């Protein structure tokens, strides 16, 4: 199966950006915001597992530096 590296690069960076932007919700006083953050991080964690199963850990040589750092940001 051919891998679409450009799509993977975009997906990884989009996930990291969304995680970063929503991280303020983690400690919100609003339970709905906390739940939204948990759902997002769970969805991204599940997707990261799928990516790892298909591609392995995305390396800098494969997806570029920014996208290669994204899994670490998503996983923590």
Q: For residue 22, what pLDDT is reported?
A: 92
From first to last of the 76 residues of the chain, give the pLDDT tens digit: 456 889 999 999 999 999 999 999 999 999 999 999 999 999 999 999 999 999 899 899 999 999 999 988 888 7
HSE on the CB side for 3, CA within 13 Å? 13
19's tokens: 């995680």
């Amino acid at each position: 199966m051919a891998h679409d590296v450009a799509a993977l690069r975009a997906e990884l960076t989009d996930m990291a950006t969304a995680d970063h932007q929503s991280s303020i919700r983690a400690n919100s006083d609003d339970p709905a915001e906390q739940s939204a953050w948990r759902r997002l991080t769970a969805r991204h964690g599940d997707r990261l597992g799928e990516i790892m199963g298909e591609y392995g850990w995305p390396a800098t040589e494969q997806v570029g530096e920014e996208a290669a750092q994204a899994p670490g940001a998503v996983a923590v």
